[in-house]
Amino acid sequence: MIALLYARRNAMSGHETKVKLRREVSVWGSFCWGYADVGADVYVALGLVMAAAQGATPLAFAIAGTVYIFVGLAYTEMASAYPVAGGGQYFALRGLGDVWSLICGAGLLLAYTVDVALFATASAGYINFFFPAVREFAIDIGPFKDVNLIWLAETLFLILLLAVLNIKGIRESSLFNETLGALDLILETTVIVIGFAFAWRPDYFLHQWETQFPTTENLAYAITIAVISYVGLESISQAAQETIRPTTVIPRSSLALIVLVLMFALAFPTVSLGIVDWQTIAKREGDPIAHLASHLPFIGFLAGPAAAILGATILLISANTGVMGASRLAYSMSETNLMGAWLSHVHPKFRTPVRTIVIFSGIAALQALWAFFSGRRAMDTLVDIYAFGAMLAYFVSCLSLIALRIKEPHTPRAFKAPLNVRLGNHEIPVIGVLGALGTFAMLVTIMWTHHSARIFGPIWVAIWFAVYIWHRRRNGLPIFRSTKCNWDEEQLKILSDTGEWELYERLRIELERRSKRS
């Protein structure tokens, strides 16, 4: 039987000689790809959210976290059922069609490139915890005021370093995430445990909650920033095509990530407000966690520097995940005829999409330059547009879950999101509906409260739509209609490529039954 299945797989692949991505990512590696991206966000968001939410900062993180749970469960189901590079863009392609897939992909590309620029900047900021003079350095260059050229140079250097690392290969990049991820988990837990055990005062926490509660508008703005603490779960699905036994690995790593990140995101603002006043954290936008740790009794003189190292490393691996995500997403969009085939080239030696790595790392570097010369604090400028792309993509992805349940009920699902209702012959995922409503509400709030997102976000999507139209016309493909594809045959090929032979047989038998019935 196994020999027959291998023969079938070889027959389906024909004489394909194109170099493919290599499967190297394990359970721990898959978890670390997601944790590196999602787990780092609180180190950027804490100070920014606290400046707006004040004493209600935990509430802002909790509301954003509720939407994150819906999106996370939706992604867990789809990523384990369709383990290919592309994530939300690929789910939208199968569920909603080419145009929606392009919109979702454009949103994700924006989120990933800004992720690289933002977290490389923040990583350098935590490094500068040890160099206050560098953190405060600023000069005027012509019409541009208060430009920190040293911090900018550090950021550009880190982006270049990560681009080279990702070109080298997924094994080296994943090992980098796994090593630093383990260290950061230990240090992060230590800060929270010691903070609650030796410094946290519940009366002080309640005092700030009652007397420093923000206005409704400020709370809404804070929630849109708190959302960035949960952006990045997409990274697990982006690495699915390079994950070993993805239908088994992805549900385990995704569910663990959802629980762990939610706990950390709620713990940090809660412990902070029980130790120091919110203004103290809000003023330290560049290194809020390190500043918090320095206020711990007995060990503050050690905890502050340790947390700075923690912040620098976790933010650096988050930026590393952004490079990986953008390059793999562009590779997938090229493979599915949303972009030119030139971008799907894989280096014959390193087995990585070198062209997309170079292009999108370059875009991230340009975004960092724009942020530092924008006349505002660089991180404020980048945060304004970071959540727009992610929420746009997550909204489309949740719609895709609903569509795929209706269009492909026969597809084997290693994990199925809970809370489902039957309407006629179709099973509707309540999680998908709640996720779509939540992300749409977030998207509307972001457009209302973030000036840069209102302008730059739609322009970015329009640019990629223009690229899409140019490519489709050049190749004689329909623009507003989807190209034809036999998704059942595609799914059989996916399962054979991943070695999921049990699911392969289940799908093949079901397709034969459907063929006989029809």
**pLDDT value at position 346?**
72
Q: What is the pLDDT of residues 39-86, one digit of tens each?
A: 677 888 888 899 899 999 999 999 999 999 999 999 999 988 998 867
Q: How far is CA 222 from CA 41, 62, 199, 265, in A?
A: 14, 11, 26, 14
- In angstroms, the CA 84 to CA 82 distance is 6
| Total-model pTM | 0.86
189 Cβ partners below 8 Å, 6+ apart?
none
Q: What is the pLDDT of residues 353-402, one digit of tens each?
A: 788 888 889 999 999 999 898 877 788 788 888 889 889 999 999 999 99
**pLDDT value at position 10?**
42
Query: For residue 169, what are its two tokens?
Result: 């290969």
The number of folded domains in the chain is 1
Domain that holds residue 28: 2-517
Q: What is the pLDDT of residues 106-120, one digit of tens each?
A: 999 998 899 899 999
- In angstroms, the CA 451 to CA 196 distance is 37
Contact predicate 19/217, CB 8 Å: no
**pLDDT value at position 1?**
37
CA dihedral 445, 447, 231, 345 (to 10 degrees): 160
CATH of the domain at 425: 1.20.1740.10
